[in-house]
Structure 1
Amino acid sequence: MQSFESDTTPTQQEKANPGLKLALELGPLLVFFFANLRGEWLVEKLPVLSALGGPLLVATGLFMAATVLSLIVSKVVFKHLPVMPFVSGVVVLIFGGLSIWLQDETFIKMKPTIVNTLFGVTLLVGLLFGKSLLGYVFNAAFQLTDEGWKKLTLRWGIFFLFLAILNEVVWRNFSDAVWINFKVWGTMPITILFTLAQMPLIMKHTIESKPGDGY
C-alpha cells in the first residue's frame, strides 16, 4: 500500500475511526495553544522544558513532538500519511527546530506562511503548465470536468496565498497571544467557509456517473 494517499480518500480504518482522525489533525495545534497558554506552569512542573526557551518556544517544542506522534499514529493506524499534514509537519520540524536552536520565534511564526505559499505556488504553477494538480488530490472524492478542476485549482491556489499573507499580517502586527489564537481558532473556520463556498462550482462541473461505472 502506498505510504502517501489523498487526504480525501478515506481508508477503511479512517471510516471506522473518524474521531481519531480529527484528533490527530487538530491535536498538535491544541497542544501548541495549551502549552503557550500554560507555559510557565509546564516549566514549573517539568523544569527540563526551560532549556527550550520562553513560553512560545516551549510550546513550539511540544508542538513538534505532538506533530511527529500524530504522523506516526496516522501511519500505524490508518496505513498511510496524509499529504498536506505530512508536508506541514516537515516544515514544523525544520522551522520549529530553527526557532529553538537560534532562540528566535520568527521561524515558527513564518511556518504557516511558508506552507501556504508552497501549496499556493505549486497549484498556480501547475496551471501555467496545463496541470490541474488539485485533481490528483480530490479526484477520489468527486469527478469534475477539466474546466471545473482548473477553476477550483485556481481558487485554492489564490486562497493558499491569501492565508500566507494573512499570517504575515497577524504575526507582524499583533501580539503572540493574538497570533496563536488566530492560528488555532481562526485559520480552520476560514478554510471551512472557503471550502463550503466552492460547493456551487463543484456541483456545476460535476460529471454525473452512469449506471455500471462502478461508483
Structure 2
Amino acid sequence: MTDKREINPFLKSALDFGPILVFFVAYLMLKDRVFTIGGTDYDGFIVVTAAFIPLLIASTGALWYLTGQLSRMQVATLVLVVIFGGLSVWLNDDRFFKMKPTMIYLLFGGLLGFGLLRGTSYLKYVMEGMMPLQDAGWMILTKRLMLFFFGLAVLNEVIWRTQSTETWVYFKTFGLSIAVFAFFLSQGKLFQTYGTEEAKDDTTPD
C-alpha cells in the first residue's frame, strides 16, 4: 500500500462518500417496505444494509486500486462494517449495524489513548503530511481527538437506543460528519500556536 497515486479529487470523494449517500437514499426509499426472502421477513433497513456491505467493499477496493493505498482507518471501518453489518443481516437484527459507529470510535479512541500512554501520538503518523505540527501540538490534538471519539461513541449509543431508526440514519449520515468537521474547525488556535515553520511558510504569500 505504499505505491501512492493521485486520482481526480471528485472521483475520490465519490468513492469515499458515495456508499454512505446511496445507503441514505436507499433507506428513505425502502424504509417502510418489508421483503420476504427465504420465508423470512426483512424490513427495508436490513435489506439496505445487506446491499451497503458489498458496495463499500467495491468502493474501498476501487480506492486501493486507483490510489495504491488505504489508510488504517479505512481498513478498520470496512472490517467493522462487514462484521456488524453481516451480523445484522444474518440475525435480522438492526442493532448490530447501529452499534458499528460505537465500535469504530471506541477503537480509534482506544488506539489514540494507548499511544498517549506510551508517550507518542499515533495521530501524527496518520496525519503528519496534512497538518504539520510541533510534537507538543500533536500530543494535545491527539488527547482532544481521543476524548472526542469517546464522546461520539457515547452519543451514538444514546441516539440509536432512544431514537427511531430514521433519526439514527440522519445522525449517522450527516450528524457524525458535521461533528468531525466542526471538531477540526474548532482547533484553529492550536494549529496557529503549534504549527511548524513548514506549515507557516505554506501560507505565506510569495
TM-score, normalised to structure 1, is 0.85
Query: What amino acid does structure 1 have at the position aligned with 2:13?
Result: L
Does structure 2 conserve the Cα–Cα contact (< 8 Å) formed by 1:25 and 1:85?
no
Does structure 2 conserve the Cα–Cα contact (< 8 Å) formed by 1:144 and 1:205?
yes
| Aligned equivalent of 1:79, options 56, 68, 86 | 68
Does structure 2 conserve the Cα–Cα contact (< 8 Å) formed by 1:147 and 1:205?
yes
- Listed as ranges, the gaps of 5+ residues in structure 2 are 200-206
Does structure 1 conserve the Cα–Cα contact (< 8 Å) formed by 2:85 and 2:97?
yes
| Aligned equivalent of 1:158, options 147, 150, 154 | 147
SS class of match (2:108): helix
Residue 123 of structure 2 corresponds to residue 134 of structure 1: yes
| Aligned equivalent of 2:86, options 94, 97, 108 | 97
Residue 47 of structure 2 corresponds to residue 58 of structure 1: yes
The list of structure 1 runs, each at least 4 consecutive aligned residues, that deviate by more than 6 angstroms after superposition, is 40-44, 47-52
Deviation of 1:28 after TM superposition, in Å, equals 1.4
Percent sequence identity is 39
Deviation of 1:66 after TM superposition, in Å, equals 1.3
Query: What amino acid does structure 2 have at the position aligned with 1:31?
Result: V
> Comparing 93-102 with 198-207, which one deviates more in the overlay?
198-207
Does structure 2 conserve the Cα–Cα contact (< 8 Å) formed by 1:49 and 1:58?
no
Query: What amino acid does structure 2 have at the position aligned with 1:135?
Result: K
- Alignment-derived partner of residue 204 in structure 2: none
C-alpha distance in structure 1 between counterparts of 2:89 and 2:190, whole Å: 43
C-alpha distance in structure 2 between counterparts of 1:188 and 1:141, whole Å: 19
- Listed as ranges, the gaps of 5+ residues in structure 1 are 4-10, 211-215
- Alignment-derived partner of residue 26 in structure 2: 35
Deviation of 1:51 after TM superposition, in Å, equals 6.5
Query: What amino acid does structure 1 have at the position aligned with 2:2?
Result: Q
C-alpha distance in structure 2 between counterparts of 1:49 and 1:99, whole Å: 16
Deviation of 1:151 after TM superposition, in Å, equals 0.1
- Alignment-derived partner of residue 176 in structure 1: 165
